[in-house]
Structure 1
Amino acid sequence: MTNGQEHRGAAGYGGGTPQPNPYAQPNPYDRPNPYAQPVPPQQQRQSQSQPPPYAAPPQPVGGLPGPLPRRNRLVVLLQFLLQWIYAPLWILGLVVVFAAIIAAAIFSNYGGDGPSSDGWLRVNRSFIPPRRLRAELTGRPEDWERYVTPVLRRRIAAAEASHAAGGGQVQVDLGREVSAELAVRLYRGLGAEGVVRVAERFGWQGAPSGTDAGRVRLVRRFPAPATLSAPSPQDPPAAPGTPWGPQPGRFAPLLPVIFLLQIVYVPVYGLLTFWVDRPEPDYWERWGARWTVGPRAFRAEFTGSPAAWERHVRRILKRESTRELGRSADSYGRLIAPDGTFLRRIQLHRATYRGAGAHQALRIAAEQGWMLDPAFAPDPANSLRLCRPDHR
């Protein structure tokens, strides 16, 4: 008998044994992939010596832009010296402009359109870090490579962290693709072909498209999880405090205080940290689940009533389902199988099912045909990613 934390026959939460489909409706991850394309016999023979299907073939470097001409040394030195003067003034000017825009909106009902580009906000685009100065002055590819490599390593690490947190574009084989880009100012003397060679050391490739003289785009594909370790909707309810069970509620008398103060501290926190690059694609949902309380979830969290939590889950599930089912099939583009099959996707955040438990939310969703999305590893502590087969 299970305790709600594992499939039948699994080794527990996180077990890896494939399980029979617990859902009554067709389940996309217990049958052949409907998105798979037929492979000619000749390609099948060639694929025996190829990397796994989720690893895109390396981008040929011959067709990518090479190094650009070195900039004038005197211009580079002048820019490096003067930037310590104009960069602070630029930032100060932006503060004044924003203050003027806010004042105009408050006192004169200004409703005009802003600039079509945010390039004027990017003071960093004209800033030469000291570490890049040597490469700019010498123009040698080896100096540029020494500068680009750590920059590229950080971009790749952030992109892979985003994938681990559920980011990336879902592919037709249910794997996910993450990408990273570098502007030409970061690799001028190395060229896009040199950047791709460096990226290949980390298991990344140049994108088949989107790489031009002004930027280079890199991608890496990750396979879908081999199995989904999660309780079945028919399993006994998960125990409270376990990853799939109801989570402890916050101190009830504190909730009204949070509810009132969040009107002030949420925008303040957002304004102070909007410039921070978050690797987690759902960072704000996670932060909100911890530091805010929604008006719809207030009654359920304040009372801790299982019935109130179930009503809240059903209300949010209905809203998300209606929104997703309202999308036309054509909007799924390349994710539609040759037979017209595709997967609709929604996401329920932890704040929606905190007091009910992820397992209970999964049971409610299964009643309406939703199931765990096979493209994502289950993460009940933060969100539930669900899918529902449909046909065009």
Structure 2
Amino acid sequence: MSDGQGYYGGAGGHGGVPQPDPYPQGVPHSNPYGHGGVPQPNPYAQGIPQPNPYAQPVPAPRGTPYPQPVPAQFVPPQPVAAYPAPAVPQSVRAPAPPGTDYPGPAPRRSRTGVLVQFTLQWIYAPLWIAALVSLFVILLWTGASGPTGSDSWLKVNRTFIPPRRLKAELTGRPDVWERYLTPILERRIREAEARHAAGDGEVGDDLARTMRVKFSVRLYRGIGAAGVVRLAERYGWEGGSVGGDPDRVWIRRVFPAPPRVPAPGPQDPPAAPGTPWGPRPGRFALLLPLMFVLQIVYVPVYGVLSLLAFWVTHHEPDYWERWGARWTVGPRAFWAELSGSAAAWDRHIRRILARDTRRKPGSAGAALPARIRINLATYRGAGAQQVLRIAAEQGYALDPAYIPEPEACVRLYRPDQG
């Protein structure tokens, strides 16, 4: 009977003859599922990629039934600037001067020499200022013209070392020099932009005006001219030409031409009194003689105060003209303003125009100046439009490079000399 292992006494049961191992070790055997006993490849072997039976064929473009593979081309990376310059509007940015090379930091000064100068300046600076005041009084008393040539001997501040620069000179660190120079640069840029608003600047062919600011090496010794230009670019300015002086560096900014503002022409009807282009109200008649006498005293006083503060620059380049138009009266304008006569004002305007358009001495063929300025004190009782009428006789017109401000001055332009 069967015991679960085959028939009793059979070949596969207990007590039977052992059967040979159909899969002996070390002896290759044939695949029982193969054909003819030939070994078949393993269909589950790893490492052999099989085609995807569900892959969709990629249609070839028309006209190219057998497209050829295009080898990929290597594109080298483009260099990127480590510190890109801040963007400045093209309308106010001029091209950099060709061949400009800004030097780096200048050699450091001796610490001993810096300390000696810082100590002695508190003694010689007051004596220097007192000597300048005495010289001015002597020149004013004698009527002499004074020394000619360079005025560098007047600049006491050039030899003065403030405490903040003393630290920069002693340490020599670029970051300390930058902290010292930054407020100075900001102040000078503000003053230059204020002077531009008041009418200063070099007028170009496109009526744009260029402002320039100069710095001496004593202000930027530790960072060099290149450091000054880098700081100026933060405020929309750029480096100018270093010129032939290695101890100076210039920065500049080009301001675009102002927009056109409507203004009356020489042939237009006269402007009404009290309007910007019409006659201005005259000053009190009894006050004019008093002002004429007192100005003999306070004008020299103003000159002395200006000498004592000669290192202080005003925000307006025409500060004296604007101030003097209110508190002084010229000897030629005295009768015109006192009488209020239109003919007297016309004669005064013509005298000032003849003075400002006078040819240079010794150059008979010199051209007339292209741009002149007439202050309010010249045409107060006649009006700014009357200046345009009289100036048109000599070929002058209202200057388009400036915004008209008839309450203070009239700027004239001669196109054939521009």
Structure 1 equivalent of residue 277 of structure 2: 244
AA of the residue aligned to 1:259: F
| Deviation at residue 329 of structure 1 after TM alignment | 7.7
AA of the residue aligned to 1:299: W
Change (3 A) 1:360 1:99: closer
Q: 1:376 aligns with which of 402, 410, 413?
A: 402
Q: 1:178 aligns with which of 203, 211, 224?
A: 211
Distance of 2:417 and 2:138 partners within structure 1: 52
Q: Higher RCO, 1 or 2 (CA under 8 Å, sep at least 6)? A: 1
The equivalences for 1:254-269 within 5 A come to 254-269=287-302
| Deviation at residue 166 of structure 1 after TM alignment | 0.7
Tell me, which stretches of 5 or more residues in structure 1 are unaligned? 1-48, 333-342
TM-score normalised according to structure 2 size: 0.70
Which one has a larger percent helix, Structure 1 or Structure 2? 1
Distance of 1:93 and 1:391 partners within structure 2: 45
Distance of 2:286 and 2:264 partners within structure 1: 34
Distance of 1:62 and 1:391 partners within structure 2: 31
Distance of 1:320 and 1:93 partners within structure 2: 35
Structure 1 equivalent of residue 322 of structure 2: 286
Structure 1 equivalent of residue 412 of structure 2: 386
The equivalences for 1:19-38 within 5 A come to none
| Deviation at residue 359 of structure 1 after TM alignment | 1.7
2:348 matches 1:312? yes
Structure 2 equivalent of residue 143 of structure 1: 176
Contact 2:264 2:385 in 1 (8 A): yes
Structure 2 equivalent of residue 155 of structure 1: 188
| Deviation at residue 322 of structure 1 after TM alignment | 4.2
Structure 2 equivalent of residue 207 of structure 1: 240
Structure 2 equivalent of residue 81 of structure 1: 119
Structure 2 equivalent of residue 39 of structure 1: none
The equivalences for 1:1-392 within 5 A come to 52=90, 54-58=92-96, 63-96=101-134, 105=142, 114=147, 116-210=149-243, 212-274=245-307, 275=310, 276-323=312-359, 344-390=370-416
Distance of 1:88 and 1:325 partners within structure 2: 41
| Deviation at residue 265 of structure 1 after TM alignment | 1.9
TM-score normalised according to structure 1 size: 0.75
Change (3 A) 1:95 1:284: closer
Report the identity percentage. 61
AA of the residue aligned to 1:305: S
After alignment, is 213-222 or 343-352 more displaced? 343-352
Change (3 A) 1:288 1:62: closer
| Deviation at residue 220 of structure 1 after TM alignment | 1.0
Please state whether the residue corresponding to 2:415 is helix, strand or coil: strand
Change (3 A) 1:313 1:271: same
Distance of 2:289 and 2:332 partners within structure 1: 13
Structure 2 equivalent of residue 339 of structure 1: none
Change (3 A) 1:193 1:211: farther
| Deviation at residue 368 of structure 1 after TM alignment | 3.6
Change (3 A) 1:187 1:328: farther
Please state whether the residue corresponding to 2:117 is helix, strand or coil: helix
Change (3 A) 1:364 1:99: closer
Distance of 1:331 and 1:230 partners within structure 2: 27
Contact 1:59 1:205 in 2 (8 A): no
Distance of 2:217 and 2:277 partners within structure 1: 46
Task: Kindly provide the CA deviation profile for residues 162-215 of structure 1, in whole angstroms up to 9, marking residues without a partner as x.
Answer: 111111111122211111111110110010000010011111111134274211
